[in-house]
Amino acid sequence: MEANTRQNLGMPPEVIDFLNGRGGRSLIVKGGAGTGKTTFGLELLEKLGRPGQSFYLSTRVSDDALYRQFPWLRGTEMRARIFDAGKMFLETLMAREREVPTEPPAEVKEKISTARDFLKSIGQEQAPPTKVDRTQLTALLKHTRMPEVEHMYDRVEGVLPEKALLVVDSLEGVTHKYGLEMEEFVMCLQKDLAENSNTNVVMILEKPEAGGIEYLVDGLLSFSREEWEERRVRHMRLDKLRATAIPRPRYAVTLAGGRFQALGISNQRVTTGPASTPWTSVRDPPRYYSTGIPDFDSLLGGGYQTGSYNGFEIDVNVSIDDYYLLFVPAFLNFLSQGRGIMGILAGGESPERLRQILTAYIPPETFDNRVRFTDYFNTESSLPYVLPLGRVGREDAIRTLSVADRAVRGADQKPIMEYTAFDTLEYLQGDAPAIRGLFIGMERTKLRGDVGIGLLKPGLVVTSEIINMMDTYFRVVKIDNSPCIYGIRPRTMIYSISIDSRKGVPYTTLTPIV
Protein backbone atom coordinates (compact mmCIF):
# COMPACT_ATOMS: atom_id res chain seq x y z
CA MET A 1 0.00 0.00 0.00
CA GLU A 2 1.43 3.40 -1.01
CA ALA A 3 2.55 5.89 1.65
CA ASN A 4 0.03 8.57 0.68
CA THR A 5 -2.77 5.99 0.86
CA ARG A 6 -1.63 5.01 4.33
CA GLN A 7 -1.71 8.65 5.36
CA ASN A 8 -5.24 9.08 4.05
CA LEU A 9 -6.35 6.01 5.98
CA GLY A 10 -5.27 7.59 9.26
CA MET A 11 -3.96 4.21 10.40
CA PRO A 12 -0.35 3.56 11.48
CA PRO A 13 1.46 1.99 8.50
CA GLU A 14 2.81 -0.70 10.84
CA VAL A 15 -0.75 -1.87 11.62
CA ILE A 16 -1.66 -1.85 7.92
CA ASP A 17 1.42 -3.90 7.02
CA PHE A 18 0.70 -6.34 9.86
CA LEU A 19 -2.89 -7.02 8.79
CA ASN A 20 -1.96 -7.15 5.11
CA GLY A 21 0.58 -9.91 5.75
CA ARG A 22 0.10 -13.43 4.44
CA GLY A 23 -2.48 -15.55 6.17
CA GLY A 24 -4.61 -14.57 9.11
CA ARG A 25 -3.35 -12.45 12.02
CA SER A 26 -4.70 -11.99 15.53
CA LEU A 27 -4.58 -8.69 17.34
CA ILE A 28 -5.57 -7.71 20.87
CA VAL A 29 -6.48 -4.06 21.47
CA LYS A 30 -6.43 -3.12 25.16
CA GLY A 31 -6.88 0.03 27.19
CA GLY A 32 -8.98 1.75 29.82
CA ALA A 33 -12.47 3.13 29.32
CA GLY A 34 -12.71 6.04 26.91
CA THR A 35 -9.33 5.53 25.27
CA GLY A 36 -10.74 4.90 21.76
CA LYS A 37 -10.67 1.11 21.39
CA THR A 38 -14.17 0.74 19.94
CA THR A 39 -13.66 3.67 17.57
CA PHE A 40 -10.41 2.09 16.41
CA GLY A 41 -12.12 -1.26 15.78
CA LEU A 42 -14.87 0.34 13.72
CA GLU A 43 -12.37 2.42 11.77
CA LEU A 44 -10.37 -0.72 10.97
CA LEU A 45 -13.55 -2.30 9.68
CA GLU A 46 -14.29 0.63 7.39
CA LYS A 47 -10.77 1.44 6.20
CA LEU A 48 -9.20 -2.02 5.88
CA GLY A 49 -12.18 -4.36 5.65
CA ARG A 50 -14.01 -5.14 2.44
CA PRO A 51 -17.80 -5.29 2.00
CA GLY A 52 -19.02 -8.81 2.56
CA GLN A 53 -15.65 -9.87 3.98
CA SER A 54 -15.52 -7.93 7.26
CA PHE A 55 -17.66 -8.24 10.36
CA TYR A 56 -18.07 -6.50 13.71
CA LEU A 57 -19.43 -8.56 16.60
CA SER A 58 -20.70 -6.29 19.36
CA THR A 59 -21.51 -8.03 22.64
CA ARG A 60 -21.99 -4.98 24.85
CA VAL A 61 -23.47 -2.20 22.69
CA SER A 62 -26.61 -2.49 20.55
CA ASP A 63 -26.77 -1.50 16.90
CA ASP A 64 -28.88 1.55 17.74
CA ALA A 65 -26.39 2.73 20.36
CA LEU A 66 -23.54 2.36 17.89
CA TYR A 67 -25.40 4.38 15.25
CA ARG A 68 -26.14 7.14 17.75
CA GLN A 69 -22.49 7.38 18.78
CA PHE A 70 -21.07 6.86 15.28
CA PRO A 71 -23.57 8.25 12.72
CA TRP A 72 -21.20 7.45 9.84
CA LEU A 73 -21.94 3.73 10.44
CA ARG A 74 -25.44 4.14 8.99
CA GLY A 75 -24.12 3.67 5.46
CA THR A 76 -25.49 0.54 3.80
CA GLU A 77 -22.11 -1.19 3.60
CA MET A 78 -21.22 -0.51 7.23
CA ARG A 79 -24.65 -1.56 8.49
CA ALA A 80 -24.15 -4.92 6.81
CA ARG A 81 -20.95 -5.49 8.78
CA ILE A 82 -22.38 -4.77 12.24
CA PHE A 83 -23.78 -7.70 14.19
CA ASP A 84 -25.36 -7.17 17.58
CA ALA A 85 -24.91 -10.27 19.74
CA GLY A 86 -28.41 -10.19 21.23
CA LYS A 87 -30.07 -9.87 17.86
CA MET A 88 -27.86 -12.59 16.39
CA PHE A 89 -28.73 -14.88 19.31
CA LEU A 90 -32.47 -14.60 18.56
CA GLU A 91 -31.97 -15.00 14.83
CA THR A 92 -29.93 -18.12 15.38
CA LEU A 93 -32.53 -19.68 17.68
CA MET A 94 -35.24 -19.08 15.09
CA ALA A 95 -33.13 -20.58 12.30
CA ARG A 96 -32.73 -24.27 11.72
CA GLU A 97 -30.35 -25.74 14.25
CA ARG A 98 -27.04 -26.64 12.67
CA GLU A 99 -25.61 -29.88 13.97
CA VAL A 100 -22.31 -29.64 15.75
CA PRO A 101 -19.61 -31.08 13.47
CA THR A 102 -18.23 -34.41 14.56
CA GLU A 103 -14.80 -34.02 16.06
CA PRO A 104 -12.18 -36.12 14.22
CA PRO A 105 -10.36 -38.87 16.14
CA ALA A 106 -7.36 -37.80 18.20
CA GLU A 107 -4.85 -39.57 15.93
CA VAL A 108 -6.24 -37.77 12.85
CA LYS A 109 -6.08 -34.40 14.59
CA GLU A 110 -2.49 -35.10 15.55
CA LYS A 111 -1.49 -35.97 11.97
CA ILE A 112 -3.15 -32.82 10.62
CA SER A 113 -1.44 -30.67 13.23
CA THR A 114 1.96 -32.28 12.60
CA ALA A 115 1.67 -31.83 8.84
CA ARG A 116 0.61 -28.20 9.23
CA ASP A 117 3.51 -27.42 11.57
CA PHE A 118 5.97 -29.11 9.20
CA LEU A 119 4.80 -27.07 6.21
CA LYS A 120 5.13 -23.88 8.22
CA SER A 121 8.62 -24.84 9.41
CA ILE A 122 9.96 -25.21 5.86
CA GLY A 123 8.25 -22.04 4.66
CA GLN A 124 5.68 -23.71 2.43
CA GLU A 125 2.30 -22.07 2.12
CA GLN A 126 -0.82 -24.21 2.14
CA ALA A 127 -3.54 -23.51 -0.39
CA PRO A 128 -6.05 -20.97 0.98
CA PRO A 129 -8.69 -22.78 3.04
CA THR A 130 -12.22 -23.09 1.75
CA LYS A 131 -13.77 -24.21 5.04
CA VAL A 132 -13.41 -22.77 8.51
CA ASP A 133 -11.49 -24.86 11.01
CA ARG A 134 -13.87 -25.49 13.94
CA THR A 135 -11.62 -27.72 16.03
CA GLN A 136 -11.29 -25.40 19.02
CA LEU A 137 -14.87 -24.13 18.75
CA THR A 138 -16.21 -27.68 18.76
CA ALA A 139 -14.43 -28.37 22.04
CA LEU A 140 -15.95 -25.25 23.63
CA LEU A 141 -19.44 -26.06 22.34
CA LYS A 142 -19.43 -29.26 24.41
CA HIS A 143 -19.83 -27.05 27.46
CA THR A 144 -22.11 -24.32 26.13
CA ARG A 145 -23.74 -23.18 22.91
CA MET A 146 -22.60 -19.80 21.54
CA PRO A 147 -25.05 -18.92 18.74
CA GLU A 148 -23.47 -15.60 17.76
CA VAL A 149 -19.98 -17.09 17.61
CA GLU A 150 -21.20 -20.07 15.58
CA HIS A 151 -23.02 -17.71 13.26
CA MET A 152 -19.85 -15.64 12.83
CA TYR A 153 -17.87 -18.76 11.92
CA ASP A 154 -20.47 -19.41 9.22
CA ARG A 155 -20.09 -15.88 7.90
CA VAL A 156 -16.33 -16.20 7.77
CA GLU A 157 -16.62 -19.53 5.95
CA GLY A 158 -18.73 -17.82 3.32
CA VAL A 159 -15.82 -15.49 2.57
CA LEU A 160 -13.16 -18.18 2.10
CA PRO A 161 -10.78 -18.55 0.39
CA GLU A 162 -10.61 -14.72 0.53
CA LYS A 163 -9.29 -13.19 3.74
CA ALA A 164 -11.93 -12.04 6.23
CA LEU A 165 -11.67 -9.40 8.96
CA LEU A 166 -13.48 -9.99 12.25
CA VAL A 167 -13.61 -7.45 15.09
CA VAL A 168 -14.85 -8.81 18.43
CA ASP A 169 -15.93 -6.12 20.88
CA SER A 170 -15.35 -7.25 23.52
CA LEU A 171 -13.57 -10.38 24.75
CA GLU A 172 -15.07 -9.91 28.22
CA GLY A 173 -18.55 -9.66 26.71
CA VAL A 174 -18.32 -13.15 25.21
CA THR A 175 -16.40 -14.90 27.97
CA HIS A 176 -18.56 -13.51 30.78
CA LYS A 177 -21.75 -14.37 28.94
CA TYR A 178 -20.81 -18.02 28.50
CA GLY A 179 -18.62 -18.57 31.53
CA LEU A 180 -15.47 -19.14 29.50
CA GLU A 181 -11.88 -18.58 30.47
CA MET A 182 -10.40 -15.70 28.53
CA GLU A 183 -7.41 -17.78 27.52
CA GLU A 184 -9.46 -20.62 26.02
CA PHE A 185 -11.62 -18.28 23.94
CA VAL A 186 -8.62 -16.35 22.63
CA MET A 187 -6.96 -19.68 21.79
CA CYS A 188 -10.12 -20.72 19.96
CA LEU A 189 -10.13 -17.63 17.70
CA GLN A 190 -6.36 -17.78 17.25
CA LYS A 191 -6.18 -21.43 16.19
CA ASP A 192 -9.46 -21.81 14.28
CA LEU A 193 -9.67 -18.47 12.49
CA ALA A 194 -6.31 -16.67 12.46
CA GLU A 195 -3.97 -19.62 11.97
CA ASN A 196 -6.13 -22.04 9.99
CA SER A 197 -8.88 -20.05 8.30
CA ASN A 198 -7.15 -17.05 6.67
CA THR A 199 -8.90 -14.55 8.97
CA ASN A 200 -7.68 -11.37 10.63
CA VAL A 201 -9.17 -11.35 14.12
CA VAL A 202 -9.13 -8.15 16.18
CA MET A 203 -10.12 -8.70 19.81
CA ILE A 204 -10.96 -5.70 21.98
CA LEU A 205 -10.18 -5.97 25.67
CA GLU A 206 -12.06 -3.65 28.02
CA LYS A 207 -9.23 -3.29 30.53
CA PRO A 208 -5.72 -1.82 30.29
CA GLU A 209 -3.96 -5.10 31.17
CA ALA A 210 -4.07 -8.25 29.05
CA GLY A 211 -3.54 -10.58 32.02
CA GLY A 212 -1.04 -12.87 30.30
CA ILE A 213 -3.05 -13.66 27.15
CA GLU A 214 -0.91 -11.44 24.94
CA TYR A 215 1.50 -14.31 24.29
CA LEU A 216 -1.30 -16.23 22.54
CA VAL A 217 -1.81 -13.68 19.76
CA ASP A 218 0.25 -12.19 16.94
CA GLY A 219 -0.19 -8.54 17.85
CA LEU A 220 -0.90 -6.26 20.81
CA LEU A 221 -1.91 -2.58 20.83
CA SER A 222 -2.33 -0.47 23.97
CA PHE A 223 -4.50 2.64 24.20
CA SER A 224 -4.21 5.24 26.96
CA ARG A 225 -5.00 8.87 27.69
CA GLU A 226 -3.44 11.57 29.83
CA GLU A 227 -3.76 15.22 30.74
CA TRP A 228 -1.28 17.57 29.04
CA GLU A 229 -1.47 20.95 30.80
CA GLU A 230 -5.14 20.29 31.52
CA ARG A 231 -5.80 19.18 27.95
CA ARG A 232 -6.69 15.63 26.92
CA VAL A 233 -4.31 13.57 24.83
CA ARG A 234 -4.79 9.98 23.67
CA HIS A 235 -1.96 7.60 22.84
CA MET A 236 -1.63 4.36 20.90
CA ARG A 237 1.34 2.09 21.61
CA LEU A 238 2.38 -0.73 19.29
CA ASP A 239 3.56 -3.36 21.79
CA LYS A 240 3.85 -6.32 19.42
CA LEU A 241 3.24 -6.96 15.72
CA ARG A 242 4.71 -10.31 14.82
CA ALA A 243 6.85 -10.41 11.64
CA THR A 244 6.35 -6.64 11.17
CA ALA A 245 8.91 -3.87 11.61
CA ILE A 246 7.88 -1.19 14.11
CA PRO A 247 9.96 1.91 13.31
CA ARG A 248 7.56 4.09 15.29
CA PRO A 249 6.10 2.38 18.39
CA ARG A 250 3.83 5.21 19.60
CA TYR A 251 1.25 7.56 18.05
CA ALA A 252 -0.91 10.37 19.32
CA VAL A 253 -4.49 9.76 18.19
CA THR A 254 -7.70 11.74 17.93
CA LEU A 255 -11.35 10.73 17.91
CA ALA A 256 -12.58 13.97 16.34
CA GLY A 257 -15.98 13.56 14.69
CA GLY A 258 -16.31 10.04 16.09
CA ARG A 259 -13.52 8.84 13.79
CA PHE A 260 -10.17 7.33 14.72
CA GLN A 261 -7.05 8.96 13.30
CA ALA A 262 -3.41 8.35 14.16
CA LEU A 263 -1.48 11.62 13.92
CA GLY A 264 1.85 12.50 12.38
CA ILE A 265 1.85 9.59 9.92
CA SER A 266 3.19 11.59 7.00
CA ASN A 267 6.85 12.65 7.01
CA GLN A 268 6.13 15.40 4.49
CA ARG A 269 7.10 18.96 5.36
CA VAL A 270 6.47 22.24 3.58
CA THR A 271 10.13 22.04 2.60
CA THR A 272 9.71 18.86 0.57
CA GLY A 273 8.45 18.12 -2.88
CA PRO A 274 8.44 20.22 -6.08
CA ALA A 275 5.68 22.77 -6.57
CA SER A 276 2.85 21.62 -8.80
CA THR A 277 0.89 24.89 -8.85
CA PRO A 278 1.41 28.43 -7.49
CA TRP A 279 0.16 29.26 -4.03
CA THR A 280 -3.59 29.92 -3.87
CA SER A 281 -4.22 32.92 -1.62
CA VAL A 282 -6.64 32.75 1.29
CA ARG A 283 -8.74 35.89 1.48
CA ASP A 284 -8.37 38.16 4.49
CA PRO A 285 -11.50 38.78 6.57
CA PRO A 286 -12.13 42.41 7.58
CA ARG A 287 -9.60 43.57 10.24
CA TYR A 288 -7.60 40.31 9.96
CA TYR A 289 -4.71 38.88 8.00
CA SER A 290 -5.17 35.23 7.08
CA THR A 291 -2.58 32.82 8.46
CA GLY A 292 -2.77 30.93 5.17
CA ILE A 293 -4.28 28.02 7.14
CA PRO A 294 -8.10 28.06 7.19
CA ASP A 295 -8.18 25.90 10.34
CA PHE A 296 -5.88 28.34 12.14
CA ASP A 297 -7.90 31.31 10.88
CA SER A 298 -11.03 29.74 12.37
CA LEU A 299 -9.23 29.15 15.68
CA LEU A 300 -8.19 32.82 15.82
CA GLY A 301 -11.61 34.13 14.83
CA GLY A 302 -10.44 35.18 11.38
CA GLY A 303 -6.63 35.18 11.43
CA TYR A 304 -4.02 37.54 12.86
CA GLN A 305 -5.71 40.76 13.87
CA THR A 306 -4.55 43.92 12.14
CA GLY A 307 -1.91 45.55 14.33
CA SER A 308 -1.47 42.48 16.55
CA TYR A 309 1.68 40.81 17.86
CA ASN A 310 1.51 37.02 18.06
CA GLY A 311 3.89 34.86 20.09
CA PHE A 312 4.92 31.25 19.46
CA GLU A 313 6.91 29.36 22.09
CA ILE A 314 8.76 26.55 20.33
CA ASP A 315 9.63 23.47 22.41
CA VAL A 316 13.16 22.08 22.32
CA ASN A 317 12.28 18.97 20.29
CA VAL A 318 10.37 20.89 17.60
CA SER A 319 12.39 21.27 14.40
CA ILE A 320 12.44 24.16 11.94
CA ASP A 321 10.57 22.00 9.43
CA ASP A 322 7.91 21.40 12.08
CA TYR A 323 7.16 25.04 12.85
CA TYR A 324 7.50 26.05 9.22
CA LEU A 325 4.25 24.13 8.76
CA LEU A 326 2.69 27.12 10.55
CA PHE A 327 4.71 30.00 9.15
CA VAL A 328 5.38 29.16 5.50
CA PRO A 329 1.64 29.38 4.60
CA ALA A 330 1.50 32.78 6.34
CA PHE A 331 4.58 34.01 4.44
CA LEU A 332 3.17 32.79 1.13
CA ASN A 333 -0.23 34.31 1.75
CA PHE A 334 1.31 37.66 2.62
CA LEU A 335 3.72 37.77 -0.32
CA SER A 336 1.17 36.53 -2.88
CA GLN A 337 -0.93 39.61 -2.11
CA GLY A 338 1.90 42.06 -2.70
CA ARG A 339 2.81 42.56 0.94
CA GLY A 340 6.29 42.40 2.42
CA ILE A 341 8.14 40.65 5.23
CA MET A 342 10.94 41.92 7.44
CA GLY A 343 12.55 39.88 10.15
CA ILE A 344 15.31 38.34 12.19
CA LEU A 345 15.70 34.61 11.67
CA ALA A 346 16.30 32.10 14.46
CA GLY A 347 19.48 30.13 14.90
CA GLY A 348 19.50 27.37 12.30
CA GLU A 349 17.21 29.21 9.90
CA SER A 350 18.67 30.42 6.62
CA PRO A 351 17.37 33.20 4.34
CA GLU A 352 18.64 31.29 1.31
CA ARG A 353 16.79 28.12 2.31
CA LEU A 354 13.60 30.03 3.09
CA ARG A 355 13.81 31.68 -0.32
CA GLN A 356 14.19 28.27 -1.94
CA ILE A 357 11.07 27.03 -0.14
CA LEU A 358 8.88 30.04 -0.91
CA THR A 359 9.93 30.59 -4.53
CA ALA A 360 8.62 27.14 -5.39
CA TYR A 361 5.15 28.75 -5.09
CA ILE A 362 5.69 32.46 -5.80
CA PRO A 363 7.90 34.27 -8.38
CA PRO A 364 11.54 34.69 -7.22
CA GLU A 365 11.40 38.42 -7.91
CA THR A 366 8.51 38.74 -5.45
CA PHE A 367 10.71 37.35 -2.70
CA ASP A 368 13.73 39.44 -3.70
CA ASN A 369 11.71 42.66 -3.78
CA ARG A 370 9.43 42.12 -0.78
CA VAL A 371 11.55 40.26 1.81
CA ARG A 372 14.37 41.55 4.00
CA PHE A 373 16.15 39.67 6.80
CA THR A 374 18.77 41.33 8.97
CA ASP A 375 22.14 39.64 9.40
CA TYR A 376 24.06 40.95 12.42
CA PHE A 377 27.02 38.63 11.88
CA ASN A 378 28.18 39.75 8.42
CA THR A 379 29.30 43.12 7.08
CA GLU A 380 28.39 42.50 3.44
CA SER A 381 26.07 40.42 1.29
CA SER A 382 25.32 40.16 -2.42
CA LEU A 383 21.79 38.93 -1.72
CA PRO A 384 19.10 41.62 -2.14
CA TYR A 385 16.99 40.15 0.66
CA VAL A 386 19.77 40.15 3.29
CA LEU A 387 20.68 43.28 5.30
CA PRO A 388 24.26 42.87 6.60
CA LEU A 389 24.42 44.91 9.82
CA GLY A 390 27.55 43.45 11.41
CA ARG A 391 29.72 46.23 12.91
CA VAL A 392 27.32 48.89 11.65
CA GLY A 393 26.70 51.87 13.88
CA ARG A 394 23.30 52.58 15.34
CA GLU A 395 22.48 55.49 13.02
CA ASP A 396 23.57 53.57 9.92
CA ALA A 397 21.55 50.56 11.02
CA ILE A 398 18.43 52.71 11.51
CA ARG A 399 18.93 54.26 8.08
CA THR A 400 19.40 50.84 6.42
CA LEU A 401 16.31 49.43 8.10
CA SER A 402 14.24 52.46 7.13
CA VAL A 403 15.20 52.09 3.46
CA ALA A 404 14.42 48.38 3.60
CA ASP A 405 11.05 49.07 5.24
CA ARG A 406 10.01 51.38 2.41
CA ALA A 407 11.19 48.87 -0.16
CA VAL A 408 9.17 45.92 1.14
CA ARG A 409 6.05 48.06 1.58
CA GLY A 410 6.25 49.12 -2.05
CA ALA A 411 4.99 52.27 -3.72
CA ASP A 412 1.52 51.78 -2.24
CA GLN A 413 2.99 51.31 1.27
CA LYS A 414 1.14 48.12 2.07
CA PRO A 415 1.26 46.54 5.54
CA ILE A 416 4.14 44.16 6.32
CA MET A 417 4.77 41.16 8.54
CA GLU A 418 7.52 41.41 11.14
CA TYR A 419 9.01 38.01 11.96
CA THR A 420 11.32 38.15 14.97
CA ALA A 421 13.28 35.28 16.51
CA PHE A 422 13.98 36.37 20.08
CA ASP A 423 16.76 33.85 20.61
CA THR A 424 18.86 35.77 18.08
CA LEU A 425 17.81 39.13 19.52
CA GLU A 426 18.61 38.12 23.09
CA TYR A 427 21.95 36.64 22.09
CA LEU A 428 22.97 39.83 20.25
CA GLN A 429 21.59 42.48 22.58
CA GLY A 430 20.85 40.83 25.92
CA ASP A 431 17.46 40.42 27.55
CA ALA A 432 16.74 44.04 28.53
CA PRO A 433 17.41 45.52 25.04
CA ALA A 434 15.46 42.64 23.49
CA ILE A 435 12.43 43.49 25.62
CA ARG A 436 12.76 47.18 24.72
CA GLY A 437 12.98 46.17 21.08
CA LEU A 438 9.74 44.23 21.48
CA PHE A 439 8.01 47.31 22.95
CA ILE A 440 9.13 49.40 20.01
CA GLY A 441 8.17 46.72 17.51
CA MET A 442 4.72 46.28 19.02
CA GLU A 443 4.03 50.01 18.98
CA ARG A 444 5.18 50.24 15.38
CA THR A 445 3.03 47.24 14.41
CA LYS A 446 -0.12 48.66 16.00
CA LEU A 447 0.46 52.16 14.62
CA ARG A 448 0.97 51.00 11.04
CA GLY A 449 -1.58 48.20 11.02
CA ASP A 450 1.09 45.54 10.43
CA VAL A 451 1.25 42.10 12.00
CA GLY A 452 4.02 40.72 14.20
CA ILE A 453 5.14 37.13 14.78
CA GLY A 454 7.50 36.50 17.65
CA LEU A 455 9.42 33.23 17.95
CA LEU A 456 10.61 32.12 21.39
CA LYS A 457 12.93 29.18 22.03
CA PRO A 458 13.53 27.34 25.35
CA GLY A 459 15.76 29.00 27.94
CA LEU A 460 15.19 32.61 26.93
CA VAL A 461 15.15 35.16 29.75
CA VAL A 462 12.73 37.37 27.83
CA THR A 463 10.00 34.73 27.62
CA SER A 464 8.41 35.42 31.01
CA GLU A 465 8.34 39.16 30.26
CA ILE A 466 7.09 38.85 26.72
CA ILE A 467 4.21 36.44 27.22
CA ASN A 468 1.98 39.09 28.81
CA MET A 469 2.63 41.59 26.03
CA MET A 470 1.42 39.38 23.19
CA ASP A 471 -2.08 39.61 21.74
CA THR A 472 -2.00 35.85 21.19
CA TYR A 473 0.39 33.27 22.60
CA PHE A 474 0.77 29.67 21.44
CA ARG A 475 3.00 26.74 22.35
CA VAL A 476 4.31 24.40 19.66
CA VAL A 477 5.32 20.96 20.99
CA LYS A 478 5.97 17.42 19.82
CA ILE A 479 3.61 14.69 21.07
CA ASP A 480 4.52 11.15 20.01
CA ASN A 481 6.60 12.61 17.17
CA SER A 482 3.69 14.67 15.88
CA PRO A 483 4.05 18.51 15.87
CA CYS A 484 1.18 20.05 17.81
CA ILE A 485 0.00 23.51 18.84
CA TYR A 486 -2.21 24.82 21.61
CA GLY A 487 -3.21 28.29 22.71
CA ILE A 488 -2.40 29.95 26.02
CA ARG A 489 -4.05 33.17 24.85
CA PRO A 490 -6.68 32.37 23.68
CA ARG A 491 -6.91 29.08 25.52
CA THR A 492 -7.49 26.20 23.12
CA MET A 493 -7.33 22.43 23.00
CA ILE A 494 -4.33 20.74 21.40
CA TYR A 495 -4.20 20.50 17.62
CA SER A 496 -1.99 18.32 15.47
CA ILE A 497 -0.17 20.18 12.67
CA SER A 498 0.18 18.36 9.36
CA ILE A 499 0.16 18.72 5.60
CA ASP A 500 -3.37 18.93 4.20
CA SER A 501 -3.93 15.46 2.68
CA ARG A 502 -6.31 16.88 0.04
CA LYS A 503 -4.19 19.81 -1.19
CA GLY A 504 -0.70 18.56 -0.39
CA VAL A 505 2.45 20.63 0.15
CA PRO A 506 2.61 23.47 1.24
CA TYR A 507 -0.94 23.63 2.60
CA THR A 508 -1.36 22.89 6.29
CA THR A 509 -4.24 21.62 8.38
CA LEU A 510 -4.92 21.51 12.13
CA THR A 511 -6.64 18.47 13.61
CA PRO A 512 -8.13 18.71 17.13
CA ILE A 513 -6.93 16.05 19.56
CA VAL A 514 -10.06 14.90 21.39
Say if CB 360 and CB 277 are below 8 A apart.
no
- Exposed e or buried b per residue across 115-136, where buried means at least 16 C-beta atoms within 10 angstroms of its C-beta: eeeeeeeeeeeeeebeebbbbb
Say if CB 175 and CB 181 are below 8 A apart.
yes
Which H or E run contains 424? helix 422-429
Say if CB 478 and CB 317 are below 8 A apart.
yes
Task: Choose among 174, 167, 163: nearest CA to 66.
Answer: 167
Taking only the tens of pLDDT, the chain with its 514 residues reads: 544 445 557 899 999 999 999 999 999 999 998 899 999 998 998 888 888 888 888 875 555 555 565 555 555 455 555 554 444 444 444 444 444 445 556 665 565 566 555 545 444 456 789 999 999 999 999 988 888 899 899 999 999 999 999 999 889 988 998 899 999 999 999 999 999 999 999 999 988 887 789 899 999 999 999 998 899 999 999 999 999 999 999 999 999 988 999 998 876 777 665 666 899 999 999 999 999 999 999 999 999 999 999 999 999 999 999 999 999 999 999 999 999 999 999 988 999 999 999 999 999 999 999 999 998 888 888 999 998 887 777 788 788 888 988 999 988 999 999 999 888 877 766 767 667 767 777 788 888 999 999 998 887 777 777 778 889 999 999 999 999 999 999 999 999 999 998 898 999 999 999 9
Tens digits of residue pLDDT in 225-242: 999 889 999 999 999 999
CATH 3.40.50.300 in the chain: give the residue spans: 288-512
309-314 and 288-289 strand pairing: unpaired
Task: Choose among 312, 306, 340: nearest CA to 324.
Answer: 312
Q: How far is CA 455 from the centre of its chain?
A: 25
Superfamily the domain 288-512 falls into = P-loop containing nucleotide triphosphate hydrolases (3.40.50.300)
508-512 and 495-499 strand pairing: antiparallel
Say if CB 380 and CB 366 are below 8 A apart.
no
